[in-house]
Amino acid sequence: MVERLVANEKVEGSTPFARSKYFMSDLLNKKCVPCEGGVVPFDISEIHKYQKKVDGWDVIKGDKNIFFLEKKFTFKNFLESQKFVNDVGKISENEGHHPEILFGWGYAKISITTHAIEGLSENDFILAAKIDKETSV
């Protein structure tokens, strides 16, 4: 079941995309903090708040009602997909937070959650923002 949370607020003189780029910058200045558990995962209202800060990531409710972020990227060929996956791998290693990655000819799908708490945390949104920033160049 895909559950996409969308911000319905209106800010005069800006688009949802412009707002997400502005809010994303605060995530880009943060670093993922190791999580060994003992932290409560975000509830729906926190997920909604943070989802406004990243662009194009779906919130999915998976097995055991665990939420995760998911985004599909498309490319012209297999080598571009592979390069993207390698770039995401470098970002993930630098952050110490590792997503699930599925890729093939012309596509890659990234799924992010904090396994130790069985849900979403700020780390997941930080990683999503950094993946978007570094891979949009």
List the CATH number of the domain containing 89: 3.30.1360.20
| Position 90 pLDDT exceeds 90 | yes
58 domain-assigned: yes
23 domain-assigned: yes
Could you tell me the residue range of the domain that residue 58 belongs to?
Answer: 16-135
pTM of the predicted structure, to 2 decimals: 0.78
| Contact of 70 with 109, CB cutoff 8 Å | yes
55 domain-assigned: yes
Number of separate domains in the chain:
1
3-state helix, strand, coil in the chain (%, to 5): 45, 20, 40
128 domain-assigned: yes
Distance (Å, rounded) from C-alpha 125 to C-alpha 18?
17
11 domain-assigned: no
Predicted local distance difference test score (pLDDT) of residue 107: 97
Note the pLDDT tens digit of each residue in 25-80: 676 665 556 666 677 888 999 999 999 889 899 999 988 889 999 999 999 999 99
Note the pLDDT tens digit of each residue in 12-27: 333 444 444 444 567 6
